[in-house]
């Protein structure tokens, strides 16, 4: 019933799970749609500019606030950038930062949670109080304080976002580690002289992979959403660079005067991509049958 796909590589994901995983994921139509949406936006943002080339660095004050037309499919913004081109250009930052920050947060959270869960005792207690404290300080507030102090570049942004959002994955991984370290095969290994290192490397981490992958997917969704807030708070990348959140907040006031094309496309792009990552995470979680965010 559960024909095993032979391991292609130890960390190759698909190879580690029985074949029905793909089938189970494929049955979740929302999740499959999510994969398609993400693929579409990746192509749109990174391959799109090669096909539809626009100038996104120089302002063109003769072409400001134009409504959508044959020349500018999605119109132009207040400084004359083509909106469709800007959507691709801004999407590059949103996707790149979102993916990187989501992965960074998951890595930090995984390490923190695994150490806390495996060590147990007072180490665990102290580490989890730190997590509680982190959760108690709303990320938006920290980001606003940071923005009052400094304006980070793209790399700085990734680091800041990663540093404020690793808490949830750390709790998930800790819970997973707590169960795994008491699994019979780990107890057997420990009782027959296996080291902690081996238990963690060979059993606990590989068996947490599904939890971690699911957490990472949700984390990327949250990070992309968070970047939109960050730009709204004025901490985002600075012009002429931009991201979807930046486009959205730049167009906010214009929306009152009816220039919908300045806010609807980036708004929809954010919603679609975040939805897509959430749907993928949902589908993966059901397929892996792991606990996590509902």
Partner 1 sequence: MDTLLYLGRRILQALAVILIVTVVVFCLLHALPGGPARGILGPQATPQQITAFNHEQGLDRSLPVQYAYYLGDLVRGDLGTSYTLNEAVSRLIEQRLPKTLVLTVLSALVGLLLAVPLGMWQAVRRNKPTDYVITTLSFVAYSTPVYFLGLLLILLFTQTLRWFPSQAPQGDTLAQVLADPAGLVLPVVTGAASMVAVFSRYMRAATLENLSEDYVRTARAGGASQYTVLFRHVFRNSLTPVVAMLGYYVPVLFGGALVVEQLFNYPGMGLLFWSAAQASDYPVLLGCVLVISVATVVGTLLADVVQRVVDPRVKEGRA
Partner 2 sequence: MNILEIADLGVTFSTETGDVPAVRGVSLHVRPGETLALVGESGSGKSTVALAAMGLLPGSARASGRVTVNGTEVVGASESSLARLRGRTASMVFQEPATALDPLTRVGAQIAEVIRNHRPVPRAEAAREAVELLRRVGIPEPERRASAFPFQLSGGQRQRVVIAMAIANSPGLLIADEPTTALDVTVQAEILDLLRRLAADSGTGVLLVTHNMGVVADFADRVAVMLRGEVVETGPVEEVLLRPTHEYTQRLLAAVPRLRFSGEDSAPVEAAPVVELRDVAVQFGRGPRAVRALDGVSIEVRPGETVGLVGESGSGKSTAARVALGLVPPGSGTVSLFGTDLSRSRGRARRALLSGVGVVLQDPVASLDARMSVAECVAEPLRVHRRGMPAAERRNRVAETLELVRLPRELAGRGPRELSGGQRQRVSLARALVLEPRLLVADEPTSALDVSVQRTVLEVIAELQRELGFACLFVSHDLAVVQEFAQRVVVMRAGRVEEQGPTMSTLLRPETEYTRRLIAAVPVPDPVEQRKRRTGVTA
Which stretch, 7-15, 58-66, 138-146, 174-182, contacts partner 1 (CB under 8 A)? 138-146
138 binds, among partner 1, partner 2, none (CB under 5 to 8 A by kind): partner 1
Position 249 contacts partner 1 (CB under 8 A): yes
Position 11 contacts partner 2 (CB under 8 A): no
CB of 25 to partner 2, least distance (A): 12
Count other Cβ atoms within 10 Å, centred on residue 90.
Answer: 29
Q: How far apart are CA 294 and CA 284, in angstroms?
A: 12
CB-CB contact of 186 with 204 (8 Å): yes
270 binds, among partner 1, partner 2, none (CB under 5 to 8 A by kind): partner 1
Residues 258-277 that bind partner 1 (CB under 8 A): 263, 267, 270-272, 274-275
Q: If we measure between CA atoms, which residue out of 49, 44, 55 comes closest to residue 82?
A: 55
Element (H, E) at 97: helix 83-119
16: which residues sit within 8 A by CB, 6+ positions away?
Answer: 7, 206, 209
67 binds, among partner 1, partner 2, none (CB under 5 to 8 A by kind): none
Among 119, 140, 202, 255, binds partner 2 (CB under 8 A): 202
Peptide bond into 237 cis (omega under 30): no
* Residues forming the site for partner 2 (CB under 8 A): 1-2, 4, 16, 18, 20, 23-24, 183-185, 187-195, 198, 202-203, 206-207
């Amino acid at each position: 019933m559960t024909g095993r796909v032979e391991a292609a590589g130890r960390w190759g994901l698909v190879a580690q799970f029985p074949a029905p995983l793909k089938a189970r994921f494929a049955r979740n139509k929302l999740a499959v749609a999510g994969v398609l949406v993400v693929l579409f936006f990746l192509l749109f943002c990174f391959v799109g500019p090669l096909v539809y080339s626009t100038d996104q660095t120089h302002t063109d004050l003769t072409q400001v606030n134009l409504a959508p037309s044959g020349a500018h499919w999605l119109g132009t913004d207040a400084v004359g950038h083509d909106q469709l081109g800007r959507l691709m250009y801004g999407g590059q930052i949103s996707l790149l930062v979102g993916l990187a920050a989501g992965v960074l947060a998951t890595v930090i959270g995984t390490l923190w949670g695994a150490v806390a869960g495996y060590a147990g005792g007072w180490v665990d207690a102290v580490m989890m109080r730190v997590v509680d404290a982190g959760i108690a300080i709303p990320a938006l507030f920290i980001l606003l304080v940071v923005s009052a102090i400094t304006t980070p570049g793209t790399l700085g942004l990734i680091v800041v976002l990663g540093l404020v959002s690793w808490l949830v994955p750390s709790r998930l991984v800790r819970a997973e580690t707590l169960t795994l370290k008491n699994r019979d095969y780990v107890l057997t290994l420990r009782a027959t002289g296996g080291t902690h290192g081996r238990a963690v490397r060979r059993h606990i981490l590989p068996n947490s992979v599904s939890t971690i992958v699911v957490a990472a997917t949700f984390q990327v969704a949250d990070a992309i959403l968070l970047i939109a807030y960050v730009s709204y708070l004025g901490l985002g990348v600075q012009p002429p660079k931009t991201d979807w959140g930046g486009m959205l907040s730049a167009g906010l006031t214009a929306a009152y005067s009816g220039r919908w094309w300045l806010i609807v496309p980036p708004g929809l792009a954010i919603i679609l991509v975040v939805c897509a990552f959430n749907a993928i995470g949902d589908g993966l979680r059901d397929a892996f049958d792991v606990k996590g965010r509902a």
